[in-house]
Every structure is written in C-alpha cells, then in structure tokens.
Amino acid sequence: MLYNTSNPKTVHREIKKLQPLNYNQFRWWRRFDTKTKPLPRGAKFIDRIKNGEYEFSHYYWQWKLTELELNDLYVKYKGDVREIIMSHAVDLARRKRLIEDFEKDEASRLKALKDGFMREFVMTKEEFDEHVIEFGGTTEEFYYYCLKTFDRSGKQMERRGRPKKVA
C-alpha cells in the first residue's frame, strides 16, 4: 500500500454525496463539487450554517479517493513506484493539488465561521476558542448554545444604504 487511507466504503459513500464536474482545463484536478450552492451575500448567519457552508471540506474526500486509486495502481504495478511516477504523474499531481485546496478551503471556512460568530454575538476570540473546543456537537447546535450563553444586544444587524441622520 502506497498511502494509508480511510475506509474505502466511507470514502465512496462520501463521494456519492458530491456532484461530478465536467472537465475544466483550469481546474482539471477537481472532479466533484458539493450539491448545495453558497447562499447570497446578504443571507443570515444561521441560514449559512444550515446550508452547510461551514462544514467539513469536500476536497478531503476527493483527496482520499485519489489515494485509493493510487493504491490500486501500486498493487497493479506490484510496488514499482518508479513506474507509477512515470505513467501516472497526473494522479500524483492531482493528489498534491487536492491537498493544497483542502488546506486552503478548510482554513477559510474556519476563519469565516469564527468571524461569523464574532459578528453575531458579543464574545472575544478567546471565549470563542474556549467554548468551541469544549462543545461537542454540530455547528448548528453550537449556534443555539451561543444564543443561550452570549449576549446579542451590542450587535446590530448589518444594514445597507445610507446611514440615519444624527440631529
């Protein structure tokens, strides 16, 4: 085995939840995308959470699928890594780019989640970090936990347009 991967049944089950993509010459290494599209910019934070925009990145499952395919090639070529590198360099490059996409996407999702909670509730970064580590549920359950625990009175909803006149 070339790569130590997750359970193949789990990987295939998660991949079935994704939508296959057509070939794109600029993003050729991506083969799947989520079925749910992001909400428009003005959507509420809780609606974004319910839409799954802050959940685990789908690039991870694409990465693991590529590793499973590379493991099959390893068995096919009887452990000759040099032959795999020569004939399937595209798959190795796909794996590398999917890892980069996963790390970048996961970091941006976590940052957006933290910023959303900071915007929605009156809490410090340290309080957020402390409560999110201790909490053992889903993102939506954490939102409702924060509704009970933290104050929202200091926060105003984002408004568009001209500010009110001050007399």
**Domain tally for the chain?**
1
Domain holding 74, by residue range, is 8-149
Closest by Cα among 24, 162, 49 to 109: 49
Asked whether residue 167 carries a pLDDT value surpassing 80, the answer given is: no
pLDDT at position 155, please? 58
Domain membership of residue 63 (yes or no) is yes
Backbone φ, ψ for residue 135 (5° rounding): -75, 140
Helix (H) or strand (E) holding 32: strand 32-33
Domain membership of residue 160 (yes or no) is no
For the stretch 122-147, pLDDT in tens is 888 999 999 999 998 999 999 999 99
Q: What would you measure as the largest C-alpha separation in the chain, in angstroms?
A: 81
**pLDDT tens column, 62-118:** 999 999 999 999 998 888 888 888 889 999 999 999 999 999 999 999 999 999 999
Is 2 part of a structural domain of the chain?
no
**Which run of H or E residues covers position 19?**
strand 19-20
Is the per-residue pLDDT at 4 higher than 80? Answer: no
Q: Is residue 72 part of a domain?
A: yes
What pLDDT is stored for residue 77 in this prediction? 87
Q: Is residue 60 part of a domain?
A: yes
Long-range contacts of 18-26 (CB under 8 A, 24+ apart): 18/58, 18/61, 18/62
In a domain, 3, yes or no: no
Residue type, 11: V
Mean pLDDT of the residues in the chain: 89
Q: Looking at the domain assignment, is residue 50 inside a domain?
A: yes
**Any domain includes 162:** no
